[in-house]
Each structure stands twice: as C-alpha cells, then as structure tokens.
A and B are shown apart, each in its own frame.
Chain A
C-alpha cells in the first residue's frame, strides 16, 4: 500500500501544474485545485493504466475518481 502510494504520487505529480515541486501532496488534497482538470484526468488515466499495467473498467469511473490521491488509490486497487 505504501509502495503504491509512492509510485502513484510519482505518476500524478506531473499532471498538477499548480503544485510546487517541493510541496507535499497529502492523500486528501483537492487535485482539481492543483490544476487537474477533466482533460488532464484523461492523460492521468492513461498514465495510471500504463504505469501499473492495469485496465480500469469504465464502470469504475465516477465523478470523484480523480478528486484526491486517496480516491485514485481506490480506483487502482479495485482494478488490480
């Protein structure tokens, strides 16, 4: 789980344009406020599938799937 979180953060960070490089990214930070818009979520979805070698089912996707790091963990775990 801790490994997943670390790897996940590495994948998510480049998609957050308002996040300073030295700034910590907590599990419940609002990613929308950090610059993750709906288009960037698509790029992130593709990066997650590639990074973890998984296929996320459309049925798993909700309006909140990319709201926080915590939600993304759930999404990834459910698809493994």
Chain B
C-alpha cells in the first residue's frame, strides 16, 4: 500500500503523492465556488512556491496565511512547504491587536490576506513583510509564475508549521510542528479513522485550529474531497449545506453536534450520506452521542483526545465504544501515553496522575519560547526521548484505554477551543473603568462569565463586552459580565474563584 507517512516526504509529499495517484479527483471545494482537483492544487502550489523562491524565501522563513476558510489557503500552505518555508495559519477572526502579537513572534517574510482580513493590517507596520491579497493582482500575479518543478528541498526534521494557540502565560504560543510530526500523525490518525477515496469531509472548523487544518492532510492522504466550509455556516442552514456538499464525514467539536441535535428537533435531518463524525476539543457528552445515533441511524462516532502539542493522543473506535464509553480510547499506533505522579514517576495502570505522551507526533516545542518549551517538553535524562507533559490529568488502564479526568489549569476549553482566562482578564483590565477581572466558565452550559470591579459605578456590562470585542476574537468574548462592588479575596490576597464560582448560578 502506498502510504505517505512510511515513505517520508513531509507535507509536500502528502500532496504530490495524491496528485500522482489520482490527479483528476476532486480535492478542494469551497462556498465561493472554487473547486480544485489534486493536479490543479499541485500546479497552483508549485506556482506559489516559484513566486516565494523568486521573492527570496529561504528554508525556514515563515509565511503567514491570514485568510478565512477557503480553498486558496491550502494552495498557500502547500506552496510554502514546497519552497522550504514554515507556514502559519492565522484565524480570520483575530483582531488587529491579537494579530500583531503573533506577527511579532513569527516575523513572516510574506503574509497572505483576503477581503475579510486585509483591514487587520491597517496600523501594523509591515516592515519587510510582503503582503499578498487573494482576489487582487498581488495574488494573481504570484500564481502566474511558471510552476517550480524541483523536488522539495526540505527535510523531514525541518519545522513545517506553527500553530498559534493559548499558552500558559496569556501570550499566544506557536506550537512548532516538523514535517515528520505531521506526516506521522496523519498516517496514525488515518489508521483509526479510515477516511476513504469517495469521502467528502466537511471542514467547518477554522483552518487555523489544528484539527481543522489537519483535515487538509487527512483528506489528501486518503484521496478524499474536502469541502472547505466555515464556522459561520454552523447555523440554521447546516443540514442543507451538508446535504448539498454531500458530506460523508463531519469532524467537529461538541458545539457543532449540539447544533445538529437542536436542528434535529425541528424534523428529520435527512442526511443519508453522513456516515461518521469525529469529535475533538472536549468530551462529547454521552447524551449527545445517543441523540445523534437516533437522529442519524448507522452513524459512526469517533471519540478522541489530543492537544496541539502532539495533535492527537488517542482515538476510541466505534467498535470499542460499548465496552469503553467512559474512555477516550487508546494512544495512536507507535505512540505511548501514561500517567505520572507529582515526581514524574510512571504510575501503575488505573492510577490517576498527569498524562504524559511520547512518540514521533510530539512537537519540536514552542516557537522562540525556551522556558515554556522546557516545562512541557521534557527530557528526563540526556539519553532519553522527549516526553510531552500535557498538564491534563487522567489514568491509563491495563489495556491502554485512557480515562480523562481534568484539563490543565493553564487554559479552559470553550466550545472546543483552547482559551486562556489570563489573556481575557488582562485585556479586561485595559478597559477604562475596570479595576480587577476574573473569568470563570460555567460548565453546565459552557458559558464564560467575567466578574469585574469598576472605578466607575455606572460601568455597563455591554460596554465591557464591546470593548473586548475590539481586541479579542468573538470566541473569547464573555457571555455575561457581572460588575461587583468588591472582588472576593483569599487570605493571601488572591482572587477567590471558589466564591465566584458559587455565584455562577445566579
């Protein structure tokens, strides 16, 4: 069997192998009417690679791709990889301040934007960064270059991609993934999920989010089609869109499935082609799974666990579900997950501790953040392999099934996305009139509640929400703001979150 992850060839190899095997198969389709076969995608990626080489891009230079979900995003990332560069996909919903914080770390040579994101660059000094705008001449002329037909000059151990996500300090961190990390984990995920050549994968997660991004690679490896949707389409029209695109596999986070369930209350969903869903981000409640199976008979449900620092830890197969429904499955083939105690010693099966992961999927580290890298990516001894300390707690049973008990304290999961409470609190304290801020999540309905004290007693909650909307993307805006006359404190002066939590039900 022809498998990219055994042959090597990194990210470019995923595309070029697929384009050789089935050049005329549909690869990408988006809601703007762009439809590309594998051969067409490779041709465009090679043109973009030629442009980048001509523009002086050297191996290891960064290309920032700041686009809404659309087919060109894949062209840009494959082209960057072919040219030996490192790509980073930046969420179209980022506000200028958040974008600037990431650009100052990534220092890209080129940034690709479109009509939905170009306004974000106003007020940012591009310096030596070249700006290309999809839909305008700058992008069109880059793709008018003669395709660069050389081999990929990079090497499997090179950094391929930076995925910016919430760090432990409130500053976004770029998880640095090598070509080998990506190619290996794509193969290992495919071993479990079994995407097929006729599949149409529904891409409704942001492509800046790692599991959204990986749908490009997973589809390529299987020779499947990726419908490049958008998170904004997870609304009232979702069933119609899934039907029209012929989606067979729907990767998502629990809120995507909650949307389907809510819409299923109105009448039959009528999605005969949808055969599987693959859940990530946070635990899919058992009640959701039962409801989805009732609404969509024969649906296969894959429960998974992971974190960007290794992409995927474990996948529970549908056939294992009945006997192990309280677990998130076993670690991927060729990788290992185990629990350790506070001193880092491996615990016996069934005992709960911090989950630690080893394998070729463990990232190189955080981009230009040596201290945070050393904290999570540890080498126990000079001669031992790197272990990824996830910060999550759980246990692993004798058969290798992982039971997950609590997320890391450094971030929370909100609608499947990793969010740093510290980042939101820090921004809130920048707002005129706000003195102190504490963000809490109400778990029952996954809503965010921001408690603030104010120097101005007339401070309106909606004023705080709107001000946060100027600097943070919508997913980070609290659902409710409560203005307190006094912030509860513990004896040592820290904000007393337990007392605040008791007020969440108010």
Taking beta carbons and an 8 Å cutoff, which residues of A are in contact with B? 17-20, 23, 35, 37-39, 41-43, 45-46, 49, 55, 58, 61-63, 65-66
Q: Which residue of A lies closest to B478 (CB)?
A: A17
Contacts of A58 in B (CB 8 A): 237, 239-240
Contacts of B267 in A (CB 8 A): 55
User: CA of A35 to CA of B462 in the docked complex: distance in angstroms?
Assistant: 10
Report chain B residues within 8 Å CB of A41. Answer: 235-236
Q: Chain A: which residue is nearest B267 at the CB level?
A: A55
Instruction: Decide if B469 touches A39 in the complex (CB within 8 Å).
Output: no
Q: Which of B259, B265, B477 sits near A39, CB closer than 8 Å?
A: B259
CB atoms of B469 and A46 under 8 A apart: no
Which bucket holds chain B's interface residue count?
A: 20 to 34
Name B residues whose Cβ lies closer than 8 Å to a Cβ of A: 231-237, 239-240, 255, 259, 262-263, 265-267, 415, 460, 462-463, 465-466, 469, 474, 477, 479-480
| Residue with the greatest number of chain B CB neighbours at <10 A, chosen from A19, A23, A41, A66 | A41
A46 to B264, CA, bound (A): 11
Are A45 and B236 touching (Cβ within 8 A)? yes
Contact A39 B266 (CB under 8 A): no
* A65, closest chain B residue (CB): B236
**Choice from B239, B240, B266 contacting A46 with Cβ under 8 Å:** B266
Q: Kindly report which residue of chain B lies nearest to residue A40, judged by CB atoms.
A: B235
**Nearest opposing residue in chain B for A38, CB measure:** B235
Q: A38-B231, A39-B259, A46-B266 are in contact. Are A17 and B479 (CB under 8 A)?
A: yes
With CB as the reference atom, state the residue of chain A lying closest to B469: A18
The reply to whether B237 and A63 form a contact with Cβ atoms under 8 Å apart is yes
Which residues on the A side are within 8 Å of B236 (C-beta)? 38, 41-42, 45, 61, 65-66
Residues of A within 8 A of B259 (CB): 39, 42
Least distance between A67 CB and chain B CB atoms (Å): 12
Asked if residues A20 and B462 are in contact (CB atoms below 8 Å), the reply is yes
Inter-subunit contact B460/A61 (CB<8 Å): no
Residue of B nearest to A58 (CB): B240
A-B contact pairs, 16 of them (CB 8 A): A19-B462, A20-B460, A37-B474, A38-B236, A39-B234, A39-B235, A39-B255, A39-B259, A42-B235, A42-B259, A45-B266, A49-B266, A55-B266, A61-B240, A63-B237, A66-B236
**Do B262 and A42 touch (CB < 8 A)?**
yes
Contact pick for A18, options B237, B262, B466, CB 8 Å:
B466
**Chain A residues with CB below 8 A from B266, complex form:** 45-46, 49, 55
B235 & A46 in contact (Cβ 8 Å cutoff): no
Going nearest first, the 10 A-B pairs with the smallest beta carbon separation are A38-B235, A20-B462, A41-B235, A45-B236, A38-B232, A61-B237, A42-B262, A61-B236, A18-B465, A58-B240
Distance, CA A61 to CA B259, complexed state (A): 16
Q: With A and B bound together, what is the CA distance between A19 and B462 in angstroms? A: 6
Distance in angstroms between the alpha carbons of A43 and B466 in the assembled complex: 22
A2 to B235, CA, bound (A): 28
A21 CA / B480 CA spacing, docked (Å): 13
Given A42-B259, A45-B236, A61-B237: 14 more A-B contacts, CB < 8 Å: A37-B235, A38-B232, A38-B233, A38-B234, A38-B236, A39-B235, A39-B259, A39-B415, A42-B262, A58-B239, A61-B236, A61-B240, A62-B237, A63-B237
What are the residues of chain B within 8 A of A63 when measuring CB–CB? 237
B463: chain A residues at CB < 8 Å are 20
Q: Which residue of A lies closest to B204 (CB)?
A: A38
**Measured CA separation A46–B239 after assembly (Å):** 15
- Greatest chain B CB density within 10 A among A19, A62, A63 is at A63
Q: B462 — nearest CB in chain A belongs to which residue?
A: A20
C-alpha spacing A62/B240, complex, angstroms: 10
Q: Which residues of A contact B469 (CB under 8 A)?
A: 18
Q: How far is the CB of A32 from chain B (nearest CB, A)?
A: 9
The smallest C-beta distance from B252 to any residue of chain A, in angstroms, reads 12
Residue of A nearest to B260 (CB): A42
Q: Are A42 and B263 in contact (CB under 8 A)?
A: yes
Chain A's closest residue to B243 (CB) is A58
Evaluate whether A18 and B462 lie within 8 angstroms (CB atoms) in the complex, with A37-B474, A46-B266, A55-B266 already known: yes
Q: Tell me the complex Cα distance, A19–B266, Å.
A: 28
Bound complex: CA of A8 vs CA of B236, how far in Å? 18
What's the Cα separation between A22 and B267 when bound, in Å? Answer: 37
B239-A43 in contact (CB<8A)? no
Residue contact A43 to B262, C-beta cutoff 8 Å: yes
| A69→B460 CA distance, assembly (Å) | 24
Compute how far the CA of A20 lies from the CA of B466 in the bound complex, rounded to whole angstroms: 11
- Give chain A residues whose Cβ lies under 8 Å from the Cβ of B265: 46
A54 to B240, CA, bound (A): 19
- For B480, the closest partner residue in chain A by CB is A17
CA distance A61 to B263 in the complex (A): 13
For B460, the closest partner residue in chain A by CB is: A20
